[in-house]
Structure 1
Amino acid sequence: MITGMVITLNESKNIIGCIESLLQVCSEIIIVDSNSTDNTVELAESLGAKVITQSYLGDGFQKNVGLDYASNEWVLSLDADERLTDEMVSEIKAVDLTTTNHDAFAFRRRNYIGSRWIKQCGWYPDFCIRLYNSKKTKFSEVKQHASVQAQNPKRIEADIIHYSFENLGQLFAKPGRNFSGRAAKIMYKKGKCANSFSPFTHGLNAFIRKYIFQKGFLGGVDGMTVALSSAVNSYLKYAKLLEYQRDPKVIENEDFDKIW
């Protein structure tokens, strides 16, 4: 028996498809919602999901909130914009979770922009642990880019689908959604430092990694765009960190206890 787990904030466009996908292999669904103002909660409850309301604590902390409410040891965690493929459903059903020696299973993830599957820039195969034994492991308790800290995971050679962005405009809006600002605040609180060259060098390195080493050049315009977006995000992160170091007025106007 598996518990499906999803964290949400205003996911009315995605939540029905996500829950219906999980119900193919899960006996219960738990939604941890951070005060949605749309009808995410109502839609989830209409499909039988248990909804827990929790103001956002950061990625890993939030994804662990629902564990105290789960009836099953095994948890399948999806983001609201992710779906199981038919192949993945079959693979999960074929695993004997009562006898396995593994504490978690990693899935390949197909990342999409619109209806376009992006196979370059490190976007595929993007292995990530999504099914895990909650008595043995859980998500790392960090506020950004959390992952399941499994000791003996196994890869399942099947895919889940991630509808990452509806279009290229959303991809370039990512830095504007304050991902870079959050990262800069976290780095500043940890005492990390930047110099005048840091924004440029980190931005350039991000572009080269995505476009050259992860073969973004094979992806045409989409590959170039993903590489450029990564570069912009990296540039802004270190530019903001440098700003915190150099400008006391900016520091005065920031609340470093409210990163989220």
Structure 2
Amino acid sequence: MNKITVTIITLNEEYNIKNCIESVVKICDEVIVVDSKSTDDTVKIAKSMGAKVYVQKYQGDGPQKQFGVQYAKNNWILSIDADERLDQDMVAEIQNIDLIKNEYDAYSFARKNFVGKKWIKAAGFYPDNVIRLYNKKTCQYSDKKSHSFVQADRVKKLNSHIIHYTYLSYQNWIERINTLSTRDAWAMQQKGVRASKATPIIHSIVAFLRKYIFKGGIFQGLDGATVTITTVFHVYMKYIKLLELQENEKTTK
């Protein structure tokens, strides 16, 4: 077996964490969970499955994912989210890689994004390539507090998939947009991004054009329209919330 440490960041993921860990145990000899002070049974479940759990307040996507790497005993890291799973083809493909004798710093995979039981492919939802398996000696997560990514030079794309249970349902999709747009607004504020009253509208128009026109949503029926509308809504809300944070700053000074 390759020597791989799996890292997972969590916040109230009791619904997902068991299945997530079960999907990776065949390809790793260590699982590290960095928990953002969950109030449910996430930590208890993770520990019961043999994971090493470290708890700290959420520092943003990149910093939180990078935090667990310092505790990893192995050089090779597989970073996944709690709502992601490895399919059997991915398990087999990783098992067949020689991580000791190889010329790559990292490996990327396509993600299959699901809403409930439906695989959504439209408007850029597939293949959604992401780097998740990487050598910590030569790679690391960017320090972006939202939508961070692994910084790597020599990357090989593999043929297998990560299964991403993005949203439990369309209702959950809207609920998650509310949560994630709040987090994104906070991350932008921390970075020093400023918004004007025109910013939410301008960025929403850009998001619409990108998803519906350039990503082909216009040709992909209901799914294309759904992805476009929800993306525009997400973008609009994160910038309107950033404006709200700016207004709150003024009233507290």
Relative to the length of structure 2, the TM-score reads: 0.91
How far apart, in 2, do the equivalents of 1:158 and 1:10 lie? 28
Pairwise CA RMSD of aligned residues?
A: 2.0
- Partner of 1:227, secondary structure, is helix
How far apart, in 2, do the equivalents of 1:244 and 1:62 lie? 23
Cross-structure match for 1:251: 249
Equivalent pair of 2:6/2:80 in contact (CA under 8 Å): yes
Q: What is the CA-CA distance between 1:171 and the residue it aligns to?
A: 1.7
Aligned residues: 251
For residue 30 of structure 1, the aligned residue among 27, 32, 35 is 32
Map 1:65-144 → 2, pairs under 5 A:
65-144=67-146
Cα-to-partner distance string for 1:141-195 (whole Å, 9 max, x where unaligned): 2211110101111111111100000111122223321x33443444455554444
Equivalent pair of 1:118/1:219 in contact (CA under 8 Å): no
| 1:220 to 2:218 alignment | no
Equivalent pair of 1:171/1:226 in contact (CA under 8 Å): no
Q: Amino acid of the residue matched to residue 107 of structure 1?
A: F
Structure 2: gaps spanning 5 or more residues: none
Cross-structure match for 1:153: 155
Equivalent pair of 2:60/2:187 in contact (CA under 8 Å): no
**Structure 1 residues 169 and 135: alpha-carbon distance in aligned structure 2, compared to 1, 3 A threshold:** same
How far apart, in 1, do the equivalents of 2:252 and 2:98 lie? 50
For residue 14 of structure 1, the aligned residue among 13, 16, 23 is 16
How far apart, in 2, do the equivalents of 1:172 and 1:10 lie? 18
- Partner of 2:26, secondary structure, is coil
How far apart, in 2, do the equivalents of 1:185 and 1:53 lie? 21
Relative to the length of structure 1, the TM-score reads: 0.89
**Structure 1 residues 61 and 196: alpha-carbon distance in aligned structure 2, compared to 1, 3 A threshold:** closer
Structure 1: gaps spanning 5 or more residues: 256-260
How far apart, in 2, do the equivalents of 1:192 and 1:170 lie? 28
Deviates more, 1:192-201 or 1:149-158: 192-201
How far apart, in 1, do the equivalents of 2:195 and 2:48 lie? 49
Cross-structure match for 1:234: 235
Deviates more, 1:180-189 or 1:62-71: 180-189
Q: What is the CA-CA distance between 1:48 and the residue it aligns to?
A: 1.1
**Structure 1 residues 68 and 48: alpha-carbon distance in aligned structure 2, compared to 1, 3 A threshold:** same
**Structure 1 residues 188 and 14: alpha-carbon distance in aligned structure 2, compared to 1, 3 A threshold:** closer
Q: What is the CA-CA distance between 1:222 and the residue it aligns to?
A: 2.9
Q: Amino acid of the residue matched to residue 171 of structure 1?
A: W
Percent identical: 46
Cross-structure match for 1:180: 181
Q: What is the CA-CA distance between 1:251 and the residue it aligns to?
A: 2.0
Q: Amino acid of the residue matched to residue 249 of structure 2?
A: I
Map 1:38-77 → 2, pairs under 5 A:
38-77=40-79
How far apart, in 1, do the equivalents of 2:159 and 2:242 lie? 39
- Partner of 2:151, secondary structure, is coil
- Partner of 1:100, secondary structure, is coil
Equivalent pair of 1:7/1:32 in contact (CA under 8 Å): yes
